[in-house]
Amino acid sequence: MSDGRFDQTGPFKRVTNFGELNGRKKQRVLIGDQPHLLECRSLELTRVKHNWPSQWHSKYPGGYIIFDNGKRFAIFQQTIDEKPVFLFWFNEFTEVFYERFKAERSILTHLKKLPEEHAGALKHLVFELSGEKGLPADFIPFIPLSGVLKYLMRLSVAQLQDVDALLSIPGSELFWRNQVSVLPAPLPYNGAVGQNRLVGAL
């Protein structure tokens, strides 16, 4: 029995009938690198600008779709810049996944750039917000990125967005150095996007 995540008739289904994409409707789609949305390692949100199945057949035998980011999707080959891609419908379900995907990747990118002591403090914050117990505090700074992602997956989308927003605040490294290590675990959180309980700790 399918759980719906990979069900091609469910909310995470791929676009397979490209004739349904209409530039006049400015439909939003997700461009991914894997045939199943939850397995994508890269994901981009864009809008359909034009769908021209009968144009430029010398280069695009089945025509092409151009998106508002300027990229062209070869309909017959199902490629962009000769690389295979997959299109997914953007809806209330895929939007939640996309927002989570963006925040997780942004946090991991910040983590790679932070000085070691600040990266360790950020790992403490993620660990505490995840509600996990029992891991020695001295071990947390040495958790690899794959381990951090495991704890990020336990956070709500709103929590992920709040952590990501904190990383974008000028001077936020002072917060990591002076505050994160004494945060209670985990902070009360009502899950509402925009009601940032963490920024209040600054």
Domain ranges within the chain, ordered by starting residue: 18-90, 94-201
The pTM for the full model equals 0.75
What is the reported pLDDT for 182? Answer: 39
The token duo for 13 is 């289904």
What is the reported pLDDT for 176? Answer: 53
What is the reported pLDDT for 180? Answer: 45
Average confidence (pLDDT) per 10 residues, the chain, 202 residues? 49 91 93 94 96 87 94 96 96 94 92 84 88 83 87 93 84 52 38 32 26
Residue with tokens 């199945």: 53
Q: Could you give the CA distance from residue 160 to residue 67 in angstroms, rounded to a whole number?
A: 28
Are 70 and 50 contacting, i.e. CB atoms less than 8 angstroms apart? no
Q: Could you give the CA distance from residue 117 to residue 120 in angstroms, rounded to a whole number?
A: 5
Element (H, E) at 32: strand 28-32
What is the reported pLDDT for 47? Answer: 97
What is the reported pLDDT for 198? Answer: 31
What is the reported pLDDT for 171? Answer: 60
Residue 47's DSSP bridge partners are: 28
What is the reported pLDDT for 141? Answer: 85
Q: Could you give the CA distance from residue 174 to residue 42 in angstroms, rounded to a whole number?
A: 31
